[in-house]
Amino acid sequence: MRTRILRIDADKPQKEKIAQAATAIRKGKVVVFPTETVYGIGANALDARACREIFRVKGREGDNPLIVHVSDMEMACGIGRIDGRNRKILARVWPAPLTVVVKSTGKVPRSVTGGLDTIAIRMPDNKVALELIGKAGVPIAAPSANPSKMPSSTAFRHALRYFKGKVDVIIGSKDSRLGLESTVLDLRTFAILRPGVFTKRDIETAFGRKARVDAVTKGEKGVTKAISPGTKYRHYAPSTPLFMYTGRKSALTGILSGIRTRYAFIGTDEACSMLPIGKGRKIQLGRRRDMGDIARNLFDALIRVDSIGADFAVVESFSDSGIGLAIMNRLRKASSHSGFSDAKGLLILLKRYGIGAHEDNKVQSSH
């Protein structure tokens, strides 16, 4: 398939290019476009056939519902039952990296919402996205622009690499400002189904009520609740086996200095500066105190790690508070819940994954 590439200015979107992309949407085509969270792969949400193509191109399971993007409150209320109080609050909060799950009005086909009678709706805080939806005049169903299970695209170059030749249109614009997918909030139970940069505290401030955080929110192992089907799948994972280090920061140098195979380390600038070079390659995420930077750089790091040709990668862990909850949710899944806190733990993982000549890895004991 020939993919049309449209480069669109993030601050002053060119009207004629927006019109071309909007026409493609109206004709039932698939369009990759930027949002403030990650790039999305979108189609007319009212067109079941067009949306089926999203599932096909991504290789996404049919029970994993798509988030539907709107450009105004009227469009949102046409597809989801949002009560008066929440309508007022959302009118203030949106556009924002916050998706809400409500009862569907039935206007969006069931196949788009994974067979559920609920629908996830969001108004993205990105001019190109808002103008595209507005001009198309229909809600746009758009999951993250990545083949299923792989890290999401946060830049035009990622989207190109994944989908050139596979979709009708790719819009190239600025890198995503936030870098992690939206927070998903179930407005019926007030549970956070997926954490994002819009934090628990942001939700509680905006809605004036306590939000629920549980194992689903954290992305913990074995969570298969049908309440948010997407949360049960392995996700965000590079091809390189990724292990999360949960031990003391100061002990990591000792643990990794015995490794004889090629590895990569993904972590904060502070952790990277402490580590020996040796067989390792470092990918810096930003300074530890700027969690927004770490969130923004995370998927790019997970995509880059596969170009290093390492046998495995180690990623630093973070606290589950604020944006850290969203970062850890992605990392738990990206690492398939394979974590270690000492040398013995790492050796067990290397053996389990059959990595390198693990007998050669004279990993030092950490005590």
Q: How far is CA 160 from the centre of its chain?
A: 17
Q: How far is the CB of 222 from ligand AMP (least distance, A)?
A: 16
Question: Does residue 69 interact with ligand AMP by CB under 6 A?
Answer: no
By CB under 6 A, residue 41 contacts ligand AMP: no
**Applying CB under 6 A, which of residues 35, 173, 183, 231 lies at the interface with ligand AMP?**
231
Of 67 and 96, nearer to ligand AMP (C-beta) is 67
Indicate the residue among 120 and 349 with the shorter CB distance to ligand AMP.
120
Residue 298 has a CB neighbour count (10 Å cut-off) of 25
Residue 317 touching ligand AMP (CB under 6 A) = no
Phi-psi region of 147 (alpha: psi -120 to 50; beta: other; left: phi over 0): beta
Q: Binding ligand AMP by CB under 6 A: which of 193, 197, 323, 325?
A: 193
Contact between 217 and ligand AMP by CB under 6 A: the answer reads no
# residues contacting ligand AMP (CB under 6 A):
21
Residues of this chain that bind Mg ion (CB under 5 A): 144
Indicate the residue among 194 and 358 with the shorter CB distance to ligand AMP.
194
**Residues of span 127-166 touching ligand AMP by CB under 6 A:** 143-144
Site for ligand AMP in 81-110 (CB under 6 A): 101
Binding of ligand AMP by 196 (CB under 6 A):
no
- Compute the chain's Rg from CA coordinates: 21
CB of 363 to ligand AMP, least distance (A): 36
Q: Which residue has the tokens 């009862």?
A: 103
The one-letter code for the residue type at 102 is V
Q: Choose among Mg ion, ligand AMP, none what residue 193 binds, the Cβ cut-off being 5 to 8 Å by kind.
A: ligand AMP
The number of C-alpha atoms within 13 Å of 238 and in the hemisphere containing its C-beta is 26
Query: Which residues contact ligand AMP by CB under 6 A?
Result: 64-67, 101, 113, 116, 118-120, 143-144, 181, 184, 193-194, 227-231
